[in-house]
């Protein structure tokens, strides 16, 4: 299992493919496995690197409080350990929060930036923390129902119907409901992990600093995202000077899964342009 010592903890990471580095940072409560719809395609063109951030998945789960800047430094530490001087950076939801703070602190380390269903403040994190802790308890009794409760927050209703009809159905030949259920229920996060991570990232607020982000930026929003509404993504677009916004219809917070081929093509074209 590839682990690297970073910032006094061990961070789990994976490398797929060769070429220019692209680091993908997952959202709150997720792990590197959530990029199941991207890795196969991106690794044909780039060195795609995924990680489990601290308190998540196969990385260490510290018991002491940490800060948003700790998460930024974890990302820098991973790059340093892998001898990556500059990378493309893709952040989804919370991963986008961390990515924004990273590019503001280390602009020289980022080539292009891709933000998917994210926010410029820590809005909604307490709601998500409580939802994930409730789900943690429910998983002990009914793993499947716990996932459907989560899916109501992250998926467009049509995809939920199709997943419920056939748990094994492979969407685009890439992912199934079974895959996502396993990803969520095997994230190894406890209520303490959710508390510590939420406490760190709730301080995210780059409202007055978006204009300082100079990296070319692709914003991917969803028509029906309850957690990161397209109106928020439009505000980020207005704030970041060199940004482009794409809104994908009939998708929700996990647009990168629901519209994986379209999202992948947008990312590849943008990073190669």
pLDDT digit string, tens, across residues 35-69: 999 999 999 999 999 999 999 999 999 999 999 99
pLDDT tens, 140-160?
999 999 999 999 999 999 999
Q: How far is residue 129's CA from residue 106's CA, in Å, rounded to a whole number?
A: 28
List of residues 6+ apart from 103 with CB closer than 8 A:
89, 109, 110, 113, 213, 215
The token duo for 207 is 């409202």
Name the fold adopted by 3-272: Rossmann fold (3.40.50)
Does the pLDDT value for residue 186 go beyond 90?
no
């Amino acid at each position: 299992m590839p682990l690297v010592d970073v910032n006094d903890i061990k961070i789990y990471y994976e490398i797929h493919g060769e070429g220019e580095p692209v680091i993908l940072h997952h959202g709150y409560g997720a792990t590197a496995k959530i990029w199941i719809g991207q890795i196969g395609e991106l690794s044909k063109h780039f060195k795609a690197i995924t990680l489990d951030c601290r308190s998540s998945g196969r990385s260490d789960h510290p018991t002491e409080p940490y800060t948003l800047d700790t998460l930024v430094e974890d990302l820098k530490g991973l790059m340093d350990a892998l001898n990556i001087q500059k990378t493309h950076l893709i952040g989804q939801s919370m991963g986008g929060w961390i990515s924004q703070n990273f590019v503001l602190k280390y602009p020289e380390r980022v080539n292009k930036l891709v933000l998917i269903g994210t926010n410029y403040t820590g809005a909604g994190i307490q709601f998500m923390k409580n939802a994930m802790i409730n789900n943690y308890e429910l998983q002990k009794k009914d793993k499947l129902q716990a996932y459907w409760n989560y899916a109501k927050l992250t998926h467009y209703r049509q995809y939920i119907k199709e997943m419920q009809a056939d748990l094994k159905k492979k969407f685009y030949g890439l992912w199934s409901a079974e895959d996502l259920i396993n990803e969520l229920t095997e994230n190894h996060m406890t209520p303490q992990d959710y508390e510590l991570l939420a406490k760190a990232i709730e301080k995210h607020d780059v409202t007055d600093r978006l204009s300082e982000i100079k990296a070319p930026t692709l914003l991917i929003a969803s028509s029906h995202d309850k957690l990161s509404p397209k109106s928020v993504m439009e505000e980020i677009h207005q704030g970041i000077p060199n940004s482009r916004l794409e809104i994908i219809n009939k998708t929700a917070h996990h647009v990168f899964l629901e519209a994986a081929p379209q999202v992948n093509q947008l990312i590849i074209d943008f990073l190669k342009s």
